[in-house]
Amino acid sequence: MGGGEGEGKDLGGLFSMLGKLDNLKSNEDAENLKKEMDLYLEKELGVNMGELNKKIEGAQKDVMIKVKETDVNEDDSNLD
């Protein structure tokens, strides 16, 4: 069967951490959980978090630019 069965990656730890999101009480709790998740993704799943964070930041900037461009174009069309 497909779907990546038998690849040996245990996602239980990740789901456990996601369950902790409901119990966050402060920014410090959130930062600690982020560090824990980053470490898990790096060690257990082999994700390069530095590279992933750079790509996410780039995507966020691209989205914000497009949103601003859309807002400007909508404002210009309202002038007609």
Neighbours of 64 (CB within 10 A): 10
Number of compact structural domains in the chain:
2
43 domain residue, yes or no: yes
Q: What percent of the chain has pLDDT over 70?
A: 80
Residues 54 and 76 in one domain: yes
Residues whose CB is less than 8 angstroms from the CB of residue 48 and which lie 6 or more positions away in sequence, other chains included: 42
Mean of the pLDDT values across residues 54-80? 82
53 domain residue, yes or no: yes
> CA–CA separation, 19 vs 66, rounded Å?
33
1 domain residue, yes or no: no
∠ CA 42-34-37, nearest 5°, is 35
Q: Give me the pLDDT at residue 11, please.
A: 78
Domain that holds residue 55: 49-80
